[in-house]
Amino acid sequence: MQKHVVATNKYNKKAYDFMRLFVKKGELEKLKEIAKNQGKSLNKFVTDAVYKEVDNIT
């Protein structure tokens, strides 16, 4: 494995929590397309949606 990949993975383990998300077959591509149309990565799109919902609750 290349050094920068190892370093990036090491940093990510220290800096971020990870979670898995399951969606029905075919939904992932729809979500990717929506995110792309908004100029966001899928990760940014999902986290923005989660935090928006959290703000509505609190």
Here the tokens at position 11 are 């940093």
Q: Return the DSSP state at 39.
A: T
1-58 pLDDT tens trace: 799 999 999 999 999 999 999 999 999 999 999 999 999 999 999 999 999 999 999 8
* Spatial distance between the Cα atoms of 34 and 32, rounded to a whole number of angstroms: 6
pLDDT at 19: 94
**Contact (CB, 8 A) for 23 and 31:** yes
Radius of gyration, alpha carbons of the chain: 15
pLDDT at 1: 73
3-state secondary structure of 40: coil
Q: How many CA atoms lie within 13 A of 38 on its CB side?
A: 15
pLDDT at 36: 98
